[in-house]
């Protein structure tokens, strides 16, 4: 009973966090304790996979009941993940008008301004006084608590400007809307990508922004809470992708599911590892003669891997932030290669020194120095070029960049080290 | 002249992005084109390193001029990075009252609610009518455009509730503040950490929140734009740290600076690579006899590295999100080990098969299968334990986790593969 009271005292988002942090058995128990009227809000806050696992256990009526009171943009996201039959039941529960508006939102891609927006907006005409606006809002009675602005449109619904509530409450009531409205905030075209919308919100410190169609007519608004979700998802995507994981993964997914998913990445890695092994295999005879090469070859490969992934990480981040463009790409390439040469020479000397000191052979020292210098320069080139190339091929650089890069640095590392070893030591 | 007009048409945040995307020489040219009255806003938007490079070129008077019109929380962040002498000049330019308030903000740690907050707030008493509030706000005349709420306090400044502007404009003017104010939004204690504040904003879809001192007195407010910066910085930190980079790094830093910074990470890696090489060195005799072990050893090490970094990445993300706690840690450990065993066995079979097929030796096949199974289970254990251990030692798991982990999987991989090879093949 005490647990029930605790769950009831939490905010829906906190219940969602709790559910995401629980193994499946406890998750079901806690879900049963959630207030019926909170169920919809909690479902909205859950990540896709946990949400799906809970939806599976609900019957259709409960799902329909949970959708009550959702705003249209939330409902659109929610419906996208429901089974066909339940979606039809949800649609049937809506009024004709809401159904039509929902279908409009669903028609836009999820990761565009149109997909992010809420079609419910409040708009006023430019020629009325603030007093009239206030009277109109009092008649409406209910406007969402976290509203910071309403929109000014002409008689054809074309967007003209922004009326901040801050100005509405602090300017003289006789002033007209057009006198106090802001004309600087540019409306967002419906087809702008979600990540561009996020960057604009973040750069311009926006709380909400109007969305317009191709003719400049107001069709909805985007609020910062949806944008924060976009920013968090994007960061999570880049972070997890580099280990071949998916941002919608449930930490507490069943063992079999997790093992299957991760095994794909292990398979890709195995294929590339065998490519590297094949390169080593070319030099079997050399290795048998100069066994110290086998001892030192992991050093050459791993130094290249680290140097390359530094450049790669900077590039992936820079590209995600829109900071790498044609104009500065050549400057960056020159810089990264220069860093590679500098670090390559420095570490070639260090490694050569250690090799001579521990293995007492200056011939091997020279060979490993040359191999490290070569590998660090190639690593810089690859760290720069691989993400750009993958993007051209429409492959996510965050997902595939690291595997491609380490394959290159492994192959180049083994090839140059064992190749030079064969030439000069046998 | 056309470039100057272009720069002037940009928003300060866009100018900042442009500056961050430019090599140093062009950066100086563009900076000279920035409108004097925009300089402060642009400086605020720049990352620390680019900002420092520009501040270096400005004389003290220009810096002081740029601080004019900054809000106190922005000014506090800004002043923290200035040279001592310039700070003193900025302080001298402030009114006594502002100076005192600025020093209060500076007294809180930068990454706490007190450090994030803006001491400028608007507050009203609970017993007045909305009409009176509106009259009061009209007398104030200027309140910031993106205000969504003002705060309700008692005569001792103790926080009582939130008056959303949305309710102020939509409810009857005769109603009192206490009738329409929101009592659900809990104030944020001044000592709460910035990342907890960010999670709360994101979970509860807040646009602004009041900050209170230990006695519950209102001392400032935090707005979502500052929180978005925290979220972005945190994501960037985790992402870049895993490659040993720093989030404040300038992509266009001079070659020498970049090379020096990255070389530290290469040094750490070299030390661990030589540890792995030393392990390989133990088995020189074996390698000379069974050279195919040298060919295949990178495969064992790299499969362990990938499997381990998947677990590690999930753990780092889960810990950053506050999702890994004592209660579920054991469940997670069991799960990760089970995934390790399952994938270990599956890939042991595959690799054994490939080895028998290509090298025609079932003895080596058995040895590599055993080594891979061992390494994948150890990788799961290490991926789980290393970040928790590092956190206990107060070392950032995002920064050091990957190096520690791959050292473990390299050493265990080489040790088990070459050790078993020595036992059974020589």
Instruction: Provide the residue-wise pLDDT of chain A in tens; the chain has 426 residues.
Output: 577 787 888 888 888 888 888 888 888 888 888 888 888 888 888 888 888 888 888 888 888 888 887 888 788 878 877 888 888 888 888 888 888 888 888 888 888 999 899 888 999 999 999 999 999 999 988 888 889 999 999 999 999 999 999 999 999 999 999 999 999 899 999 999 998 999 889 888 899 999 999 999 999 999 998 898 888 888 788 888 888 887 566 677 778 888 888 888 889 999 999 999 999 999 999 999 999 999 999 999 999 999 999 999 888 888 877 777 776 788 889 889 999 999 999 999 999 999 999 888 899 999 999 999 999 999 999 999 999 999 999 988 888 888 899 999 999 999 999 999 999 988
pLDDT for A408: 95
Q: Do A298 and B277 touch (CB under 8 A)?
A: yes
Q: How would you classify residue A322: left for phi > 0, otherwise alpha for psi between -120 and 50, otherwise beta?
A: left
* Nearest-by-CA chain B residue for A244: B310
Angle at B382 between CA B378 and CA B387, to 5 degrees: 170
Superfamily of domain A2-109: MgtE N-terminal domain-like (1.25.60.10)
Q: Do A266 and B322 touch (CB under 8 A)?
A: no
Q: Is the ipTM beyond the 0.85 threshold?
A: no
DSSP A217: B
Q: Are B146 and A148 in contact (CB under 8 A)?
A: yes
- Specify the DSSP element, H or E, that contains A119: none
Q: How would you classify residue B360: left for phi > 0, otherwise alpha for psi between -120 and 50, otherwise beta?
A: left
Q: Kindly indicate the confidence band of residue B1, based on its pLDDT and cuts at 50, 70 and 90.
A: low
Per residue in B187-199, pLDDT tens?
A: 999 999 998 999 8
What is the Cα–Cα distance from B149 to A21, expressed in whole angstroms? Answer: 33
Separation in Å, CA of B288 to nearest CA in chain A? 5
Q: Kindly indicate the confidence band of residue B23, based on its pLDDT and cuts at 50, 70 and 90.
A: confident
Cα–Cα distances in Å, from A222 out to A207, A422, B111, B226, B249?
A: 9, 64, 29, 19, 32
A206 chain-B contacts, CB cut-off 8 A: 146
Q: Do A338 and B255 touch (CB under 8 A)?
A: yes
Is pLDDT at B326 greater than 80 in this prediction?
no
Selecting from 1.20.120.1200, 1.10.10.10, 1.10.357.20, 3.20.20.70, what CATH number does the domain B255-425 have?
Answer: 1.10.357.20
What is the Cα–Cα distance from B414 to A296, expressed in whole angstroms? Answer: 13
pLDDT for A155: 94
Residue holding tokens 């500065």?
A328
Q: Do A235 and B240 touch (CB under 8 A)?
A: no
The domains of chain B are located at 2-107, 123-241, 255-425
Of B168, B182, B159, B164, the closest CA to residue B133 belongs to B168
Nearest to A295 among B243, B262, B277 (CB): B277
Mutation test of the interface with chain A: which of B255, B344, B373, B412, choosing the one with the most A Cβ atoms within 10 A?
A: B255
Superfamily of domain A123-224: CBS-domain (3.10.580.10)
Cα–Cα distances in Å, from B182 out to A230, B145, B185?
A: 28, 21, 7
Maximum mean pLDDT: which of A118-122, B9-13, B17-21: A118-122
Q: Do A294 and B287 touch (CB under 8 A)?
A: yes
Per residue in B222-280, pLDDT tens?
A: 999 889 888 888 878 888 888 888 756 667 777 888 888 888 888 999 999 999 999 99
Tell which CATH architecture fits domain B2-107: Alpha Horseshoe (1.25)
3-state secondary structure of B72: helix
pLDDT for B297: 93
Which of the two residues, B210 and A313, has the higher pLDDT score?
Answer: B210
> Are the folds of A2-109 and A255-425 the same?
no
pLDDT for A249: 62
Q: Which residues contact B368 (CB under 8 A, 6 or more apart)?
A: B296, B299, B300, B348, B351, B352, B355, B417
Q: Integer distance in angstroms from the first to the last C-alpha of chain B?
A: 79
The predicted model gives B38-49 an average pLDDT of 86
B242 chain-A contacts, CB cut-off 8 A: 242, 313
Q: Kindly indicate the confidence band of residue B5, based on its pLDDT and cuts at 50, 70 and 90.
A: confident
Per residue in B94-144, pLDDT tens?
A: 888 888 888 888 888 888 999 899 888 999 999 999 999 999 999 988 888
- Beta-strand relationship, B159-164 and B188-189: unpaired
pLDDT for B248: 61
A140 chain-B contacts, CB cut-off 8 A: 170
In angstroms, how far apart are the furthest CA atoms of chain A? 95
Percent of chain B residues past pLDDT 90, beyond the cut? 49
Cα–Cα distances in Å, from B388 out to A29, A383, B92, B400?
A: 28, 31, 47, 12
Q: Give the CA count within 13 Å in the CB-facing half-sphere of A91.
A: 16
Superfamily of domain B123-241: CBS-domain (3.10.580.10)
What is the Cα–Cα distance from A75 to A44, expressed in whole angstroms? Answer: 9
Q: What per-residue string of b and e applies to B74-83 under the rule 16 or more CB within 10 Å gives b?
A: bbbbbbeebe
Q: Do B342 and A23 touch (CB under 8 A)?
A: no
Nearest to A307 among B147, B235, B266 (CB): B266
The predicted model gives B158-169 an average pLDDT of 96
Q: Are A49 and A261 in contact (CB under 8 A)?
A: no
pLDDT for B249: 62
Separation in Å, CA of A162 to nearest CA in chain B? 10
Q: Give the CA count within 13 Å in the CB-facing half-sphere of B228.
A: 26
For the CA atoms of chain A, what is the radius of gyration?
Answer: 29
pLDDT for A250: 65
């Amino acid at each position: 009973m005490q647990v029930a009271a605790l769950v009831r005292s939490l905010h829906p988002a906190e219940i969602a966090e709790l559910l995401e942090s629980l193994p499946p058995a406890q998750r079901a128990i806690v879900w049963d304790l959630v207030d019926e009227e909170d169920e919809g809000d909690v479902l909205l806050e859950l990540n896709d996979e946990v949400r799906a696992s809970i939806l599976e256990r609900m019957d259709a009526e409960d799902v329909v009941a949970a959708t009550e009171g959702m705003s249209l943009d939330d409902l659109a996201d929610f419906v996208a993940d429901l089974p066909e039959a339940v979606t039809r039941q949800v649609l049937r529960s809506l009024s004709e008008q809401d159904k039509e508006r929902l279908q409009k939102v669903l028609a836009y891609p999820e990761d565009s301004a149109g997909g992010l927006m809420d079609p419910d907006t409040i708009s006023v005409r430019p020629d009325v006084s603030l007093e009239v606006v206030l009277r109109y809002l009092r008649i409406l009675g209910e406007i969402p608590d976290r509203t910071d602005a309403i929109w000014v449109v002409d008689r054809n619904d074309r967007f003209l400007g922004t009326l901040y509530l801050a100005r509405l409450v602090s300017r003289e009531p006789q002033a007209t809307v057009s006198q106090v409205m802001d004309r600087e905030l540019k409306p967002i075209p419906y087809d702008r990508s979600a990540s561009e919308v996020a960057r604009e919100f973040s750069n311009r410190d926006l709380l909400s922004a109007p969305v317009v169609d191709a003719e400049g007519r107001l069709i909805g608004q985007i609020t910062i809470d949806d944008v924060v979700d976009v920013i968090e998802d994007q960061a999570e995507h880049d972070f997890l992708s580099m280990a071949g994981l998916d941002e919608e993964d449930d930490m507490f997914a069943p063992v079999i599911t997790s093992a299957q998913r991760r095994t794909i990445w292990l398979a890709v890695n195995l294929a590339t590892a065998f490519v590297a092994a094949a390169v080593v295999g070319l030099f079997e005879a050399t290795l048998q003669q100069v066994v110290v090469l086998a001892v030192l070859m992991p050093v050459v490969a791993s130094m290249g891997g680290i140097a390359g992934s530094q450049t790669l990480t900077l590039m992936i981040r820079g590209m995600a932030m829109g900071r790498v463009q044609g104009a500065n790409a050549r400057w960056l390439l020159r810089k990264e290669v220069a860093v590679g040469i500098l670090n390559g020479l420095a570490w070639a000397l260090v490694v050569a020194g250690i090799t001579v000191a521990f293995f007492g052979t200056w011939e091997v020292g020279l060979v490993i120095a040359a191999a490290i210098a070569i590998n660090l320069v190639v690593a810089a080139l690859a760290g720069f070029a691989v993400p750009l190339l993958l993007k051209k091929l429409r492959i996510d650089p965050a997902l595939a960049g690291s595997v491609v890069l380490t394959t290159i640095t492994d192959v180049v590392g083994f090839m140059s080290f064992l190749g030079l070893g064969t030439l000069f030591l046998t």
